[in-house]
């Protein structure tokens, strides 16, 4: 099992070096730098609270808050269990492009929270708006890699945890 983690780690590092060597248009750089905050606690918790405060969307809001809380607890437990160093600590001369919330990288809490809330809300919307909400969650995940604060696999696992949290949220909250 250790050999698999080592190979995945090497692949992650190769991806990060490749991505860091690429240039993106200025508008996309700004979008990543600002859009990453959509996965932060302020936005995701506030979205759940606002939805929970409106009688017509109360179940959605409570399910989103449950999803966000449960997935966050699991993500933080995994972070402390695996203690994977962030890219700037694991790769030489690699400078993050955003503030570092803590020293552990795996899994991405921002990607997890964005998907927990997004995957809870998306099924309640018409198709196109629902897909747009999910696209925002994936955008948050991509921003975390672009900003050099997470490896690709950190984001993938964070997104999966968030989706699982959304499923649990809907299982425990009557819709």
- Render each residue's pLDDT in the chain as its tens digit; 175 residues: 577 778 877 888 888 888 777 788 889 889 999 999 999 999 999 999 999 999 999 999 999 999 999 999 999 999 999 888 888 888 877 888 888 888 899 999 999 999 999 999 999 999 999 999 999 999 999 999 999 999 999 999 999 999 999 999 999 997 6
> What token pair was written down for 99?
């503030």
pLDDT of residue 1: 58
Q: Taking the complete model, does pTM exceed 0.95, yes or no?
A: no
Instruction: Name the residue with tokens 């020293």.
Output: 103
How many beta carbons lie within 10 A of that of residue 62, not counting itself? 20
* Contact assessment for residue 144 and residue 108, using Cβ atoms and an 8 Å cutoff: yes
Report the chain's C-alpha Rg in angstroms. Answer: 16
- Peptide linkage before 119 cis (omega within 30 of 0): no
CA distance 67 to 163: 8
Instruction: Name the residue with tokens 């996965």.
Output: 39
In order of 2, 117, 140, the CA distances from 110 in angstroms are 27, 11, 7
pLDDT of residue 143: 95
């Amino acid at each position: 099992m250790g050999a698999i983690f080592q190979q995945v780690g090497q692949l992650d590092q190769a991806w990060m070096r490749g991505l860091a060597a690429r240039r993106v248009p200025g508008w996309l750089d700004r979008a990543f730098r600002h859009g990453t905050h959509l996965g932060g606690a302020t936005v995701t918790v506030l979205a759940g609270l606002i939805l929970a405060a409106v009688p017509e969307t109360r179940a959605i809001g409570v399910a989103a808050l449950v999803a966000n809380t449960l997935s966050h607890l699991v993500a933080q437990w995994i972070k402390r269990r695996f203690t994977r160093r962030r890219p700037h600590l694991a790769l030489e001369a690699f400078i993050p492009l955003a503030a570092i919330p803590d020293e552990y990288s795996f899994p991405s809490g921002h990607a997890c929270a964005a998907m927990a809330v997004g995957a809870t809300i998306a099924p309640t919307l018409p198709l196109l708006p629902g897909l747009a909400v999910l696209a925002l969650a994936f955008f948050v995940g991509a921003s975390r890699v672009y900003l050099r604060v997470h490896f690709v696999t950190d984001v993938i696992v964070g997104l999966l945890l968030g989706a699982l949290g959304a499923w649990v949220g809907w299982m425990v909250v009557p819709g």
